Amino acid sequence: MARLSTLKPTLGTLRPSIAFMPEGRAETDRHRNSQPWRKWYHTARWKALRWSVLVRDAFTCRGCEALEGDTSKLVADHIRPHRGDEALFWDEANLQTLCASCHSGSKQREERRAAP
């Protein structure tokens, strides 16, 4: 009976990688997380409001008018930025359905232009 020889590993050792975040990004994330109103997005009240906006808008993006069946790709967007104003945050008339690409693209550019 033949003996099995040990196979040499085909992969070399991996160098440890260090997580890296640019300084400006770290500051932005720290500032963003310090906003008390950020917690509102994790409440049952917000989730119910978001769902009612998606249903009202028939799961259709108001930006590009695309119908999206996957609700994880839809955003309940504040038409007028609330900037911590509780009444504006919870106002259903101030919410619209946007697809993720419209929200991340054109809407964010629009808000950056209008920022004081």
pLDDT of residue 49: 96
pLDDT of residue 73: 94
Cα separation values, 89 from 4, 32, 46, 49, 80, Å: 69, 16, 9, 10, 9
Q: Pick the closest to residue 84 from 21, 12, 35 (CA basis).
A: 35
pLDDT digit of tens for each residue in the chain (116 aa)? 667 677 666 666 656 655 555 555 555 555 556 788 899 999 999 999 999 999 999 999 999 999 999 999 999 999 998 888 999 999 999 999 999 999 988 777 777 777 66
pLDDT of residue 7: 67
State the DSSP code for 11. S
- Sequence-distant (≥ 6) Cβ neighbours of residue 80 within 8 angstroms: 88, 94
